[in-house]
A = this chain, B = another copy of it.
Amino acid sequence: MNKNQYDVLIIGGGPAGLSAAIYAARAELKTGLIEFSAPGGKLINTHNLENYPGIDSGLTGGDVAVKFFLQSQNMGAEYIAEKVVKIDNLKSFANKIVELENGEKLETKTIIIASGTTPIPLDVPGYWKYYSKGVSNCVVCDGALHKGQDIALIGGGNAATEESLFGAGFAKTVYVINEYPSFISEGVTMKKIRDTKNINLMVDSKVLEIKGDDEKVTGIVIKTKEGIKEIPLTGVFTYVGFTPASKFLENTKITDKKGFIDVDLKTAETKVDGVFAAGDILNKPFKQVTGATSDGTHAALAAKKYIDLNS
């Protein structure tokens, strides 16, 4: 057997890809996990993962990423520290091609796309300095760490407004700071938000800086129509969009126009036979670690079934 011939190649080493690797390798499939960065994906940026079921309290996302990774290694998955530039020859059963940046072409029976998304960073001083020290892109994930404190959600889209209601459940005040004059959300959501006493909607307001002390965020500086002011707070959640990491799929018809992927969530099947997708790259409203592990599981089990039925 060609050493570059795989049963499953998994593109992306976040929770979805690592879970797929655990399940695929455990099912005795020759499994490669391709991730050019550290394994763990966005999990690495999660300070406290207290909502992932079964995890001991106090573990960081990074700790948990290491656990996922070691499990995938113990089961026998091969870690390939490279970047994927293209997938090709998808109509073949045994010889679908995954092309790496180093020019190597790997052959595989199945492909699991778990390349995820990257949050668009806010281009202001302090964003990276305080990232995961008060700056986050997910209220559902990290908001509970700011119970009784003030937080700001930055953005004018559905994500910012919908998540503001979630934050209002535990934060003292939730500022929703929108650079533009209006919000995108539909009537019922906006009505509810306007009726929620501890949500403060601010339009025509642009964040200039995220401030902090040695350890964490202490406030933001914003520019409004009335001038520049500082709001003291502990959490800044940016919702200015996510970019799907799917440029390497441009020659296929697997993604939608925005670069996300639709699958049958029961089986993680894309519209191409033998190609599955899992995790944040999918079109779906809730993007939690549990969902990613579930997608990865389904993709691996469906890949196993596809191989069994076609071999």
CB distance from A223 to the nearest CB of B (A): 29
Question: How far is it, in angstroms, between the C-alpha of A187 and the C-alpha of B29 when the chains are bound?
Answer: 9
A267: chain B residues within 8 A (beta carbon): 285-286
Interface of A is mostly: helix
Q: Is A301 an interface residue (CB 8 A)?
A: yes
Whether A170 is near chain B, meaning CB under 8 Å from some CB there, is yes
Please report the total number of A residues contacting B with Cβ < 8 Å: 58
Do A28 and B309 have beta carbons less than 8 Å apart? no
> Known: A189-B309, A296-B290, A297-B288. Contact between A26 and B50, CB under 8 A?
yes
Instruction: Tell me the smallest distance from the CB of A262 to a CB of chain B, in Å.
Output: 11
27 A–B pairs (Cβ distance < 8 Å), ordered by A: A19-B53, A22-B53, A26-B50, A27-B186, A27-B187, A28-B186, A28-B187, A29-B169, A51-B75, A53-B71, A54-B54, A54-B55, A54-B68, A55-B67, A57-B71, A57-B74, A165-B305, A165-B308, A166-B308, A186-B304, A188-B309, A286-B301, A288-B294, A290-B293, A290-B294, A290-B297, A293-B293
Q: In this assembly, does A191 line the interface, its C-beta being within 8 Å of a C-beta of chain B?
A: yes
- Least CB distance, A18 to chain B, in whole angstroms: 6
Complex alpha-carbon distance, A51 and B57, angstroms: 20
Check if A121 is an interface residue, CB within 8 A of chain B.
Answer: no
By beta carbon, the residue of chain B nearest A49 is: B54
Chain B residue numbers with a CB within 8 Å of A144 are 26
From B23, B51, B165, B285, contact of A22 by CB (8 A):
B51
Residues 1-38 of A at the B interface (beta carbon under 8 Å): 15, 18-19, 22-23, 26-29
- Assembly CA distance A4 to B95 (angstroms): 60
B308 in contact with A298 (CB, 8 Å): no
A56 within 8 A of B: yes
Q: CB distance B285 to A27 under 8 Å?
A: no
Residue among B74, B286, B296, B304 making CB contact with A298, cutoff 8 Å: B286
Complex: chain B residue closest to A66, CB-CB:
B54
The A57-111 residues at the B interface (CB cut-off 8 A) are: 57, 64, 67-68, 71, 74-75
Contacting residues, chain B, for A297 (C-beta < 8 A): 286, 288, 290-291
The CA of A297 and the CA of B289, in the complex, are separated in Å by 9
A255-311 contacts to B, CB under 8 A, are 265-267, 284-286, 288, 290-291, 293-298, 301-302, 304-305, 308-309, 311
Whole-angstrom distance between the Cβ of A163 and the nearest chain B Cβ: 10
- A192 on interface, CB distance cutoff 8 Å: yes
Quick check: B26 and A186 within 8 Å, CB to CB?
yes
Q: A55-B54, A169-B28, A186-B26 are in contact. Are A192 and B140 (CB under 8 A)?
A: no
Q: With a CB–CB cut-off of 8 A, which chain B residues contact A166?
A: 27, 304, 308
CA distance A263 to B52 in the complex (A): 22
